[in-house]
Every structure is written in structure tokens, then in C-alpha cells.
Structure 1
């Protein structure tokens, strides 16, 4: 059972406000801090706080900045912390609940966009995942070492060695500078184990001269 209390698809809303934000990935059981300052999204947070406290994070995929095309899959998060700054911004933290597909986008009067979410494909997000099939941490760490050396990045290796593996996979998936399509593939991976395998493949693919792995 999710600690936020969502046990089944019927516990989730039939309408969901969405926040298109490039590169910002939210995963089930993963936290995402956000700094909200655009008026339309301040309005969205106000409405969410007075209702279900759920919003959907989704990647834009082309189109205009004001009305981008939306990826087919996003992740709903519950606002689990909230504060307002003196200059009117909202600092919030989202905790991922469940991924969703877009059944359809709704014709609404709100300044932010809303969709009818299809939760069924990702209903398993509402239960604790089976982590027994995850690849060994050293496989991921080895791919990360080569990637970091090639891209001149700094990494907290103590965290790599000690963080829960699901947390590490999600942190790297969200934090590495992959393309929007690559990040979307990581989000849509059906299980944490498959996300980890895809992550290792992406890390290997971005190392010059290393053709040892191919993203399926």
C-alpha cells in the first residue's frame, strides 16, 4: 500500500491538471521539488491545494512554449510540502503517486491544462515494487563511472554506494543530461528493474567508443 493512502485506481481522480516541464521527471515514490512562479501554475497549485492536492508532471514534446504538445505518459504527484515566498512564488514538493496515460485533453476554462488520465496501464505503481530483479548495483556504478569520466561530471560516490537502489535509479534518470525522448523512455519503463536496465544502456551509449550496450 502506498503510504499516501492511494490503494487502487478508483482512489485517483478522473480529471488531472498537468504541468508540462521539460526534463523534470517524477516517478512513483520519488520526490520532486518545484519553484512555481508563472501565474497560470500558481492558479493550478491553488486549485490543487483546495482539492485532491494532485497534479500531473509531463514532458512537453514540441509545439509552442505556451501550448506545447504533451508526451503520452506523465506521473501524478501529491503536494506533500508547500510554502509561499515574500515575492509570491510557491515552493512545493511533489511525491510521485502513479503514472498515467492521456485518454484525452479536456476543453477547460482554467489557464492551465487538464486531462482525463488513463491510470490502468500503471496501476501497479500503487503497490510496492518487486526489487528482487534489479541489476546488481556494481553494474550501474560501473556504467556511471565511464559516463562521468567521459562527460566530466561530479558524483557523490558515497550516495551511489549507499542509497536504496530504486532511489539511485530514479535520481540518475532524472538528473543525467539525457534527451527528452531518452528521459521519457526511462519514465515509461514498466518496472524499476527495466528502468535500471535502460539507464545502464543509456549511460553506456553516451561513452565514446563504447558500443557494449544498446537501448531496447
Structure 2
């Protein structure tokens, strides 16, 4: 049973990360049961566990929906997330291993190549490269608890970050900022890396409103 529950959780998380499930979407019990050939019990247990992380909200007599934040919730989550990402960059600068340095360079180079080759096009593909960059930085921090906190918060904001990359000029700016952050990490300039990452992942109030409206 535990294995089936974990499978359902992984599938829902994957759908959130890829955009197959968007904020406010209903999660159909029957569809999950059919897709994974399981009974209702592991599906319900999976949704209970996802609700505990804040990624899913259960609505009486309607089932479960993917968490969709209000403006106040969005800004509050973003505030925490920016601090967590910044802390990861600072720790990465202090603890960077050779393997993580190589992975970081590869992630940044992939973002730069995409920006140079595609410009503002293929935004969803760029977003996957962006996720890889942030994953490498978080892993380089060497703190598994921090990594899990970043993942949980990021999943609540993924749809909005993904939408942001459809705006003109954002991909080029993102790739440039990734290079600057990576250079600071590689140079072991922890405080500067932390500040740069925190600024990189933040949205201003107007942008937050625009993104919430676009996905409402």
C-alpha cells in the first residue's frame, strides 16, 4: 500500500512540475485510480499527504484541487522561497565540490545556449533548463533538509514561474543572471551569491498580480 501511495504522490508531483496540473485544477480520484490501476485507498492517502505539504487543497464534496494562492499567499510563499534559494546559493559557494561545479557550468551553459538559439521562443523548454540550474545549486548546498524545503515551496510557484518565461526578454535576462550567480558561487563569494539568488527568484508586486491573473 505504501508503495502505491508513493507512486501516486510522485505522479501528482510530476504533473505539477510539468504543468499538466495547474493551480486550481481538480485532481480526479477515478482518473488516478485508472491510470495507476490502484484502489481508492492509496489515492486518498496520497492526497492527504500532499495536502499536508500545502500542494493540494481538499474541498468538501468536490475532491482535491491543486493549490492556487491568493495574492497575499503568493507573496508570503515567495518571500520564504527567495530566502531559501538565497541560502542555498550562499552555502553552495562555501561547499562547492568539483562535481557540482561541473554540473553548475553545464546547467548555465544550457540556459545560455537556449537563450542565444531560441530567443523568447520555446519558453516551456527553457523553464525545464531553469529548474535544472536551481536544482544543481540547491544540491551543491549540501543540506538535504533545505533541498526538500526548496522543492516544496517551488512546486507552489512553478506554474507562475513557467508563465513568466513567456514574457518578452525574460529568458535572456534569466540566463544572464544564472551566469552571474554561478560566477559568484564558483568564486566562493557566499554573501553576494546569496543576495543575487534572492533577487533573481523574486517578483515585484505588479508582476505577481499579472501572473496570478494570467493563471486564474
**Shorter-chain TM-score category?**
0.3 to 0.5
Structure 1 length-normalised TM: 0.33
Structure 2 length-normalised TM: 0.33
Q: Whose RCO is larger (CA < 8 A, sep 6+)? A: 2
Higher share in helix: 2
